[in-house]
Structure 1
Amino acid sequence: MYISITKQHLDTTFSQSCSDFVAYLEKENEGKQPELQEHFFDQHNDRIAPEKVIKEIDGNTAKLKKREPKFFALTINPSQRELKHINNDPNLLKQYVREVMKDYAASFHRDIPVSVDSIKYYAKLEYERIFKGFDREVKENQEYRAKIVKLENEIRKVERGEGSGNVKMMRKEIARLHTQIPHRIDGQVVAQGMKKPGLQTHIHIIVSRKDVTNRYSLSPGSKYRESESTLNGRTVKRGFNRDQFYEKAEKRFDTLFKYQRNYVESYSARKAFVQDPKIYFAHLLGLPTNERSAALKLMGAAGVHVPILNIPANKVEAALQAIKQFKKAIDIARSSSSIGI
């Protein structure tokens, strides 16, 4: 499970309205019959029209300055393992979103607790993803594609009489490189723009910066986690606890669907990896044998291949010295968490 929170883009190329974002979220409905289209939903309603989403979000911006975000975008990205656990059931995912938004509301630090009914939001399920330039498979394939393109350019120069070289050998090298490209889907080389295989369902949520009354600002982008300040002579609470939200959202899935989460799938593991990879790795090696084996399989599926698999727990310190050797590989855990682990 990976959840992201992003504020509205406000540079000169983006509109003040949420209309462009709503249009983007309608892309999977293009060309589909009405009964097959996916609709926006909120805490209590299904089948909400995109026009209503735009009207409600754009009309709920009282007293916000031009350079202040009017809405935030949440993306909930269950892993393929999590999706498989619930049979990729859209109704269960909608149920989960409605529960998660309760945790979202509860993560605001305010004098009066914020309830989910104070949050104006609209969510939408999507079932497809495409490979992007920063994906591991695309980047690793690109190294080979770049060499092939370079050789093809050299061949053209030779054929035009602008260069020298053995064209036959260069073509042979191109053929060899083609066979070594590591990532393919049904024989086709993975490239930017291709659809990703397997279960890719995820949820986009547009959340208004203002509460449903259009009076109070509720920003999950606050730099304050939980703090107090003085306003007009009185102490007020402010902030949003992201750690609490991410942890509760994860626990909510596990409790709701009786999911047995492995350590490497957890938010606490990703946090440990970012803050101190040694702690992350030590915890990984300290897991019971069956859990450690499952963790390594999950990491392998995500493209993180750990070369030391069977080191006894009492030799953790020796194992830690090996971290530098595969630090580049294990870095992938951060980005792959959105889909694989």
Structure 2
Amino acid sequence: MVAKIPSSGKGLSQRSGSSGGLVAYLEKEVQGQWFSFDREDVPAAEVTQTLDRNKRNLNRDADKYYQVILAPSQAELRHIGSDPEKLRDYTRAAMEQYAANFGKGIEGRDLVYFAKVEHERTTGPADRAVQVGDVARGQAKPGDQTHIHVLVSRTENLARYNERKQAGELDRKNPYHLSPLTNHKDTQRGVVMGGFERKQYSERVEQAFDQAFAYERPLTETFRYAHIMQHGTPEQCAALLVQASREQQAAQQRQVVQQAAPEQQAAVQQLTPEQRPALAVAAPAQAAQEPGPAQQPAVPEPPAPEQRRVRGLRR
């Protein structure tokens, strides 16, 4: 799971004006189908209007909104069958983590955000294949490329803020301005309290997916693994590689056992009724060491006449 918060820039990355340009761009794949904290199928025009109106006490050049991109891996998408409803539920859980990560005691309902699921991605200048000339820019990427774009206002939900203030629940003079690009991280002193820890947010949204869908995430798919392999010391990287190798070996052993069980059952089903009980009696461990009664060759009994002749001699 990749949780990305692009920085502000030029063109569609410019966040100090209206959100209309980015909203219109995100209509390219399918029109409509925006959703929010508690709504579905929000029209694009309403998305732009609501985001642009939710601002107070911000300078003209200040960021008014931000974009959060949630990109599940193809393994994660297979795990949930790329179910749109599950992706929407997960997005709301990720935005709960977004709100909590500011350390200001706010929830998802205290945000103004709208999200949209997309299923296609194209190659861009940052892709290695484009840089080396193997792939042309703008080509569709293979595989399931489902991801989610979230546009979230920098200012907390003004309608909810005003309601809570009138009800006496808040004594703050102004609403919060929430920037995930701030350099403050859990600040306890000064003008800015709280902050936003981006690494912690990446880990939180990863854990939210695992808990919601019972996903057993391999070490090599974790944000921690990717971060340490890129920024860690040689000793940290070596230790992590050893841990990942052991985990992979254990997973392979479990897979072999799981695959063997159905094959054994299928083999039993192909046997005759007379053979099945005999195989079922002997445990696998015992069968490997000592042949059980069913595995020993049958000894024919002596013919009946010879038995009578022997008895006669004894007399």
TM-score, structure 1 normalization: 0.64
Q: Is the 8 A contact 1:7 1:69 kept in 2?
A: no
Partner of 2:103: 109
- Asked if 1:40 is matched to 2:34, the reply is yes
Distance (whole Å) between structure 1 residues aligned to residue 222 and residue 136 of structure 2: 29
* TM-superposition CA deviations, 1:116-148 (whole Å, max 9, x none): 1101100000000011122122233x1xxxxxx
Aligned to 2:155: 210
Counterparts of 2:109 and 2:126, CA distance in 1: 37
Unaligned runs of 5+ in 2: 162-174, 253-315
57, 68, 71: which one aligns with 2:65: 71
Using the TM superposition, give the Cα deviation of residue 292 of structure 1 relative to its aligned residue in structure 2, in angstroms: 5.8
| Counterpart contact for 2:155–2:176, Cα < 8 Å | yes
State the distance in 2 between where 1:245 and 1:13 align. Answer: 21
Q: Secondary structure at the match of 2:150?
A: strand
Using CA pairs under 8 Å that are at least 6 residues apart, name the structure with larger relative contact order, 1 or 2.
1
Structure whose alpha-carbon radius of gyration is higher: 2
Q: 1:216 to 1:117 in 2, by over 3 A?
A: same
Mapping 1:133-144, distance limit 5 Å: 133-140=125-132, 142=133
CA distance in 2: counterparts of 1:192 and 1:12, whole angstroms: 18
CA distance, structure 1, for counterparts of residue 12 and residue 27 of structure 2: 23
- Structural mapping, 1:267-306, within 5 Å: 267-276=223-232, 278=234, 279-289=236-246, 291=248
Root-mean-square deviation over aligned CA pairs? 2.4
Residue of structure 2 equivalent to 1:6: 6
Structure 1 residue 285: Cα displacement: 2.3
Does 1:222 find its partner at 2:222?
Answer: no
Where 2:209 maps in the other structure, the secondary structure is: helix
Deviation at 1:210, TM superposition (A): 0.0
Q: 1:277 to 1:127 in 2, by over 3 A?
A: farther
Q: Which amino acid aligns with 1:74?
A: V
Matched residue of 2:201: which SS? helix
Residue 57 of structure 1 aligns with an amino acid whose one-letter code is: L
Match of 2:213 in 1: 257
CA deviation digits over 1:255-284, x for unaligned, max 9? 111111111111111221222252224312
- In the alignment, structure 1 residue 248 sits paired with structure 2 residue 204: yes
CA deviations 1:272-325 (Å, max 9, x no partner) are 122225222431223354516979xxxxxxxxxxxxxxxxxxxxxxxxxxxxxx
State the match for 1:26 in structure 2. Answer: 27
Deviation at 1:11, TM superposition (A): 7.5
Using a 3 Å threshold, how does the CA distance of structure 1 residues 277 and 270 change in structure 2: closer, same or farther? farther
Check 1:10–1:209 CA distance in 2 against 1; reply closer, same or farther (3 A cut).
farther
Q: Give deviations 1:90-127, integer Å, cap 9, x for gaps.
A: 111001001111111111122xx111110110000000
SS at match of 1:27: coil
C-alpha change, 1:49 and 1:221, in structure 2 (3 Å) is: same
CA distance 1:194–1:294, shift in 2 (3 Å):
farther
Q: Which amino acid aligns with 1:70?
A: K
8 A Cα contact 2:32 2:43, kept in partner:
no
Unmatched tracts of structure 1, length 5 or more? 30-36, 143-182, 184-189, 296-341
Q: Aligned partners of 2:67 and 2:225: how far apart in 1?
A: 24
Cα distance in 2 for partners of 1:286, 1:8 equals 38
The separation in 1 between residues aligned to 2:120 and 2:86, in whole angstroms, is: 18
Which string of whole-angstrom CA distances, capped at 9 and with x for unpartnered residues, describes residues 198-248 of structure 1?
A: 1000000001000001722111111111112345xxxx7231122322111
Count of equivalent residues: 235
Q: How many angstroms apart in 2 are the aligned matches of 1:242 and 1:86?
A: 26
Partners of 2:12 and 2:21 within 8 A in 1: no
- Identify the residue that residue 129 of structure 1 maps to in structure 2: 121
In structure 1, distance between residues paired with 2:98 and 2:19:
21
Paired AA for residue 222 in structure 1: T
- Normalised by the length of structure 2, the TM-score is 0.69
